[in-house]
Amino acid sequence: MQNASVGFQCPECVAQGNKSVRQARSTFGGAVVAKPVVTYTILGLIALMFAGQYLTNDRLTAELAMNPLAVVGLGQYYRLITSAFLHFGFIHILFNGYALWAIGPYLERAFGHWRFAALYLLSALGGSTLAYWLDAPNTWSVGASGAVYGLFAAVFVVGRKLNMDVRGVVVLIAINLAITFLPWIIPGVFGGTMLSWTAHLGGLATGAVVSAALAYAPKSSRSLVQVAAIVGVLAVLVILIVIRSAQFSL
């Protein structure tokens, strides 16, 4: 028995009563987030992978980076995701790491842990999928940029849904797209190297679709719609990957 305000209650009765209490939810239906553990976990994985790249003299990079020929020729489809946790140099990881640290917690608190994780991973996969279709077969690419661009899109979508001023987000996206296509506008940072516009645009588009489904799902069937949208986007990406692989064999 447990002490109650009046008399005693059995533990089973307390547990049953707690089940009937409506649990607090995040803005878009997820469980309330006390700490953005998904964001911090992703940042930790990125840091560990970067250390592994350095310690193995980029052998880890060769094993996990995105490369269309390795994906289709060796069946290494994991590269479509693992490449999003690797980076070329300190400037690259600092740009993406800071962006994730700055906006990840906000989105994780808005969507909840697993919804945010789905948004991040699908954005990363969406970026790799477009790269798989449009990059030259021998192209090597790494970086969390595709996922980060998906988060940029999500900040815009959430801002619009909540009737916030999103002009700053639009400017941020525009600046980053300018850097994508014209890296020389920041002399010396990227050495004039063209960044992966396919990963950036693929991640941006995927993030926009996923976040819109999460933010605009009707309250009456929010979880069902959100899960269906996430599964649906994943299915579309998988189908696109399968079609592209089939084209390589023709």
Mind telling me the catalytic residues?
Answer: 145, 200
Query: In whole angstroms, how large is the CA radius of gyration of the chain?
Result: 21
Residue 245 and residue 250: Cα distance in Å, rounded?
Answer: 9
Burial grade of 136 (CB within 10 A; 0-12, 13-18, 19 or more):
exposed
Nearest to 211 by CA among 192, 233, 194: 233
Per-residue b or e along 212-224, where b marks 16 or more CB atoms closer than 10 Å to that residue's CB: bbbbebeeeebee
Local structure of 79: helix, strand or coil: helix
Residue 153 and residue 136: Cα distance in Å, rounded?
Answer: 26
Tell me the Ramachandran region of residue 135: left when phi exceeds 0, alpha when psi lies from -120 to 50, beta otherwise: beta
Q: How far apart are the first and last CA of the chain?
A: 71
Residue 71 and residue 24: Cα distance in Å, rounded?
Answer: 43
According to DSSP, the residues that pair with 141 across neighbouring strands are 66
